[in-house]
Amino acid sequence: MKAYTYLLIDFFTIIIPFLFSFHPKLKFKDKWSVFFPAMIIVAIIFLIWDIYFTKIGVWGFNPDYLTGVYILNLPLEEILFFICIPYACVFTYHCFGVLGIQPFTRQTGKWISLALTIGLGILLVIRFGNLYTTSTFALLLSTIVCLEWVKKINLSPFYFSYMILLIPFAMTNGILTGSFIPNEVVWYNDDENMGFRLGTIPIEDIFYGMLLILWNIQLMEYLERRVYSKSSTAG
């Protein structure tokens, strides 16, 4: 069973969201036509990033916890990660929207964006050159600035959803980085990050996950607007 550790993490991450996608009130399956194209595009970008960072030793994978199937020098489980995690997270975001659960105001979202922009900017200057820190913080910072102040998109629903998602994130990523098991599934070269961890989780992982889910949601919603616009024009 040890060799199936990462695979089982992927499976248990997606199975409940997948089954509830058919719920008559939630109907996330109706979003598949825009979710899957968005997810594939984002996954390709992240996988290229992943392949390169694995090759140069920014991070790597413990074969003891893998099935041994590799594609483009990445474990199959790591490729599935970019399907299963976005699916579960975007499904959660969708559910909050359907159920009308949104305690954050637009102004709250703006303050969070401002705090992230300032914090990421300071850390980016201080730790510039650490590959994981620099790439993650630079991409997230530019994304937030673009969405919040250029596109003027309301990010408060995303921030609330991601805050809630940090709970399962801590469990899932905790296991991957060595919590609750003898060794880590994914190891990190601390020369390329800030070396600060929450338990076993590098702090960069929180922002890497935020970037991954934010891109999935925003691209999905962009495609959804395109589809709606075309159907309205045709009507």
61 phi/psi in degrees, rounded to 5 = -130, 140
pTM reported for the whole predicted model? 0.96
Q: What is the pLDDT of residues 32-68, one digit of tens each?
A: 999 999 999 999 999 999 999 999 999 999 999 999 9
Q: Which residue has the tokens 């090759």?
A: 55
- Mapped onto helix, strand or coil, the DSSP state of residue 102 is coil
Q: What is the model's pLDDT at position 228? A: 78
Question: Quick one: angle between helices 156-176 and 76-99, nearest 10?
Answer: 150
Q: Which residues of 78-104 are buried (b: 16+ CB within 10 A; e: fewer)?
A: bbbbbbbbbbbbbbbbbbbeeeeeeeb
Q: What is the pLDDT of residues 111-166, one digit of tens each?
A: 999 999 999 999 999 999 999 999 999 999 999 999 999 999 999 999 999 999 99
196 neighbors 67 (Cβ within 8 angstroms): no
Q: What is the pLDDT of residues 167-194, one digit of tens each?
A: 999 999 999 999 989 999 999 999 999 9
Q: What is the model's pLDDT at position 28? A: 98
Helix locations, the chain, DSSP H = 5-20, 32-55, 76-99, 106-126, 131-145, 156-176, 203-234
Q: What is the pLDDT of residues 82-107, one digit of tens each?
A: 999 999 999 999 999 999 999 999 99
Q: What is the model's pLDDT at position 232? A: 65
